[in-house]
Structure 1
Amino acid sequence: MSAFATERAVAIDAVLRASKICQKVFNNLITKDTIIKGDKTPVTIADFSAQAVINTILYKSFPNDPIVGEENSKKMQGDSEEKKEMRNKILSLANSVLDTHLNEKELLDSIDRGNCSGAHMKVRMWTVDPVDGTKGFIRGGNYAVGISLIIDGEVHLSVIGCPNFLVNFKEPESKKGCLFIAVKGQEALICESFVAKNPSLAKIASILGITKEPLHIDSNMCKYCAVARGGADIYLRLHPIAIDFEEKIWDHAPGYLLIKEAGGMVADMDNKPFRFYFRKQLKTNRGIVVASPKIYEQVVCAVQQTITKEI
């Protein structure tokens, strides 16, 4: 049996079941009114339901492994009718894909199981991002469900589910839905953002001689997947959203390993490797640069040239 075969199978199962939940939420709870009003309730329900399912499956197979996730159950607790209705929806969705049904207490406990601080530098732990790419999810665009296994600060396994990811970018009418799997040392396997424009990207593209329009994809993880699959050449995340903003490990650990095992290169804007053992944040890194080995050095130079001028 190959290394991490059991972990791989469990993670795939968890991501597929969580992805089914997200699709159910989109099909049944998101309407045009949701988008117009900016109602985040469906996203909240998808987040909690998917995290509950993933945490339950991981805990059943690996009860001693800490889990680092984004959500906790505080938003769900309370005696108001709104909170009760939310809990009922989340419980129903989670149980619709689980083999053994949860009660309300078990549901809350499963979500809070993802509250590990990530402070242990020498530990085996899982990261969970139940819905990466909120805007894409709401409008039926790209989003991802991602899990990674980190041991002693190194990512050893990642599974990323992208339910709306085109199988072929060149054919808009092609089938949707891809599963990306990477195990350290075993190469990557692929199973068949519309955001405010960053002026730095245009400058970097000019330096590199890139004239094609950028590929617009929601979700950080889906962008990693696009480069890993060869659908894009570069993924850049240059400026923090706020001065005190720090990237979260669950947003990047799965994609980091996928790129490495696909033969690509990834580091921060200062060309420093990612460090996944400083709590929940990438505290020693700023920005993200992803590219193929052939052009990576050129991209890093262009990024540093642009950022230095702006500073």
Structure 2
Amino acid sequence: MSPRPWHADAWARLQARRERDALPHALLLAGPFGLGKREFMAAFVKGLLCQRPSDGHACGTCRSCQFVAAGTHPDLIALSFGQRKDGVTRSEIVVDQIRELSQRLAMASQFGGWQIVSIDPADAMNAAAANALLKTLEEPTPATLLMLVADEPARLPATIRSRCQRIDFLVPSREAALAWLRAESVTDPVAALDAAGGNPGLARTWAADGALKQRGEVRHDLKALAAGRGDPLEVVKRWQASDAPRYLWFAAQAVTDELRARAAGGDAPLESRLDDESLDAWYMRANRARDALRGPLRADLVLLELIAAWR
């Protein structure tokens, strides 16, 4: 994997703070999925725990690096989705996990250096868990670093965000993104980048897993439904069976292109009969539906309601 050039500035800033012994007690790595936040965090954590780092990078061979590679380093705590008593993986991080974390951090570092906690995805903490984390953020133990990763940082309470040093991972310029995708040997990088809304990491993933074909299917489905053809139930079934949130992303993107085409006076690709105001409302509705799929609502009903509004 070629280096992600948009990480360079954030990496340099953190290493400069490390050299001054001025690292914060909590970092919030924030930005859209696909920009390499987790890759960045893993490299930074390895460098902090390494016994012989070079320019912030881990040596990969010392005792500490070997423990990290094996997933058994005693001073590295990874907090994510736990399991319920029935063995089902939770969809949120709960308060008991944060309480257990606080008890763990009360103990001294076993290697005599940093104790590092990663909370990923931090924006999946429920309200009780976030409130419990506040005490740890307000009264940090020495040589402890909490690293929170959030694809949607706005879902975190402001009280949590304000107590972390935030590092924003932003979509790079189109030129930088295309250069990186070409270095990654991505087929048709321009189409992949357009589908991913300019996000190069997402573009690389989608180029490899057939997402561009799905994008075409969504546009075909919407055009057919707008013309009174096609079966809404069949469309819902197919979108749900594959990757409903991704199909909704492509649907919202297609409507944006429809509005742009109308504004430019060109041929509208979806040939929708909805006026501009209704199209804009449907775009917002598609995004809300994508968010609703995180919760307990039935995906088929969410999709069917949206498709009915399109027709």
TM over 0.5: no
Greater share of helix residues, 1 or 2?
2
Greater share of strand residues, 1 or 2?
1
TM-score by length of 1: 0.25
TM-score by length of 2: 0.25
